[in-house]
């Protein structure tokens, strides 16, 4: 295939060149009806590119096949057999994969550090999670991906599970031994799904961790907006091998997908693929050089420490994406929550992840010496300001065993069944009817159907006092928790 083509980009250019006009949605008519005050802020181009996919960009029967051609080019570019674009994010893509491989009311092996979208998939599908414990680092309080041996042990305990789903890279940039885990799954004739939302860039540079498709995964889900150049919500899921029916996964995606996909998102995915094929190795090589300089320079700042060797040592993660710069603040005496808030208020920069002791700066191919200097100077200012910040509220960090709550019911049954809201401490010993997720990184501390213990409650309450955000419980202040009406 001609990887220098970009069918969706070319189709949108032709749409404008032919001066097409649709008496169809969207009602703003390429911005003609948009409020001038909105256009002043957003510019006119987003509206100009927001056209209908069928009976707009393509004809009413999509006979030109622009989307299918773009998906085929994407699959070839990354070495997959099939690729499917999603305009509803990787949250939709991972749910589609779960439904396709396990149907409903089956069993699915899942690493317990899965994103909240995976738990949503469990609730939608009715699948029973068979949790695979990640490798908890009791010193860093970080969950590393499970090892092949842990996955094999989980298969021995749950031999009838339909598939395994593992997160790699994690939100901290750490990666699993995907090749080893794939062998374990394939020895049992079962597929492996990799939630590689943070790894869209991995196929395009040899110094990055191994791309899931190259390591033998059957399904891989990536968020192009995270580490690529797509818009928010732009996602792709890839399929290979004969353990997952690509038509089945496409049908499951269709059940969840919007019937009004955004052409802006599709076009950006298509253009990013072409950019990576033509220039990806050079762009990512420059980004990696910049990341290594940042790591070296920040690690020399008093009170700051770049976590690297600790993340890939024995019994930790298999690999690390160096573009994810994880900064430990313990010696600085402030929390990651405080650092993130201070940097936003005083330096006008945002940090993607923060927790009780760390912040994460995600670098990409878009960064350059100017943004590198801005990050360094902002962190230098933070070091100077830290002695004047209040003593952070302590977070009661549970032991790893205390974070592994007992699964009592399927998440769907607990979520949709009879429930009641009770004062937070009365929820101890009860079965959760909602998920509770510190965000970011979006890994649920409590999943519907799990029995709540005291340690997790103390962790969440102390976390809230320290600055943790809990976006999904009915009561985000956690004065009450929804539990099943069955004791």
Same domain, 77 and 204: yes
Q: Within this chain, do residues 115 and 226 fall inside the same structural domain, yes or no?
A: yes
Q: Look at residue 92 and tell me if it is in a domain.
A: yes
The answer to whether 221 touches 195, Cβ cutoff 8 Å, is yes
User: Tens place of pLDDT for every residue, the chain, 487 residues?
Assistant: 999 999 999 999 999 999 999 999 999 999 999 999 999 999 999 999 999 999 999 999 999 999 999 999 999 999 999 999 999 888 889 999 999 998 877 899 998 888 888 999 999 889 999 999 878 887 888 888 899 999 999 999 999 999 999 999 988 889 999 999 999 999 999 999 999 999 999 999 999 999 999 999 999 999 999 999 999 999 999 999 999 999 999 999 999 888 889 999 999 999 999 999 999 999 999 999 999 999 999 999 999 999 998 888 655 568 899 999 999 999 999 999 999 999 999 999 999 899 999 999 999 999 999 999 999 999 999 999 999 999 999 999 888 778 889 999 999 999 999 999 999 999 999 999 999 998 877 888 999 999 999 999 999 999 999 999 999 999 999 999 999 997 5
**How many domains, in total, are found in the chain?**
3
Q: Are residues 244 and 166 in the same domain?
A: yes
The answer on 378 and 318 residing in a single domain is yes
Other beta carbons less than 10 A from residue 391's beta carbon = 9
Domain span at residue 340 reads 280-388
pTM of the model as a whole:
0.94
Contact (CB, 8 A) for 444 and 436: yes
For 185-189, which contacts have Cβ atoms below 8 Å and span 24 or more sequence positions? 185/151, 185/155, 185/218, 186/216, 186/243, 188/155, 188/159, 189/243
Tell me the sheet residues that pair with 328: 305, 358
Tell me, yes or no, whether 286 and 362 share the same domain. Answer: yes
């Amino acid at each position: 295939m001609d990887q220098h083509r970009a069918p969706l980009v070319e189709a949108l250019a032709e749409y404008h060149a032919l001066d097409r006009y649709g008496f169809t949605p969207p009602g703003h008519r390429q911005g003609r009806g948009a409020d001038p005050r909105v256009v002043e802020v957003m510019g006119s181009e987003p509206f100009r590119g927001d056209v209908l996919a069928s009976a707009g960009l393509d004809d009413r029967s999509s006979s030109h096949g622009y989307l299918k051609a773009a998906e085929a080019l994407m699959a070839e570019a990354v070495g997959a057999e099939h690729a499917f674009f999603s305009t509803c994010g990787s949250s939709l893509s991972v749910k589609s994969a779960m439904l396709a491989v396990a149907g409903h009311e089956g069993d699915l092996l899942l690493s317990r550090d899965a994103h909240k979208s995976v738990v949503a998939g469990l609730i939608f599908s009715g699948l029973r999670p068979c949790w695979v414990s990640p490798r908890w680092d009791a010193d860093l309080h970080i969950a590393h991906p499970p090892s092949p041996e842990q996955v094999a042990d989980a298969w021995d305990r749950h031999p009838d599970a339909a598939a395994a789903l593992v997160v790699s890279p994690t939100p901290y940039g750490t990666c699993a031994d995907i090749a080893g885990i794939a062998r374990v799954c394939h020895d049992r004739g079962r597929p492996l799904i990799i939630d590689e939302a943070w790894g869209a860039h991995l196929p395009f540079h040899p110094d990055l961790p191994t791309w899931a498709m190259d390591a033998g995964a059957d399904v891989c889900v990536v968020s192009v907006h995270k580490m690529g150049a797509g818009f928010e919500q732009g996602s792709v899921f890839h399929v290979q091998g004969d353990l997952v029916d690509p038509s089945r996964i496409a049908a499951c995606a269709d059940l969840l997908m919007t019937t009004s996909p955004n052409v802006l998102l599709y076009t950006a995915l298509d253009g990013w693929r072409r950019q990576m094929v033509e220039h990806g190795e050079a762009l990512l090589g420059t980004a990696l050089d910049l990341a290594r300089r940042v790591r070296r320079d920040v690690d020399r700042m008093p009170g700051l420490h770049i976590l690297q060797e600790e993340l890939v040592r024995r019994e930790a993660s298999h690999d690390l994406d160096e573009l994810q710069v994880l900064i430990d603040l313990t010696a600085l005496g402030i929390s990651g929550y405080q650092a993130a808030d201070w940097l936003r208020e005083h330096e006008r920069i945002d940090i993607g992840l923060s927790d009780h002791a760390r912040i994460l700066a995600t670098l990409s191919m878009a960064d350059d010496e100017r943004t590198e200097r801005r990050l360094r100077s902002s962190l230098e200012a933070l070091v100077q300001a830290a002695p004047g910040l209040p003593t952070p509220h302590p977070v009661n960090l549970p032991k790893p065993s205390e974070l592994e709550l007992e699964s009592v019911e399927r998440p769907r049954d607990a979520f949709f069944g009879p429930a009641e809201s009770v004062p937070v401490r009365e929820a101890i010993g009860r079965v959760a009817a909602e998920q509770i997720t510190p965000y970011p990184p979006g890994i649920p501390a409590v999943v519907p159907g799990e029995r709540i213990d005291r340690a997790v409650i103390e962790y969440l309450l102390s976390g809230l006092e320290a600055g943790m955000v809990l976006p999904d419980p009915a009561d985000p202040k956690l004065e009450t928790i929804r539990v099943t009406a069955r004791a």
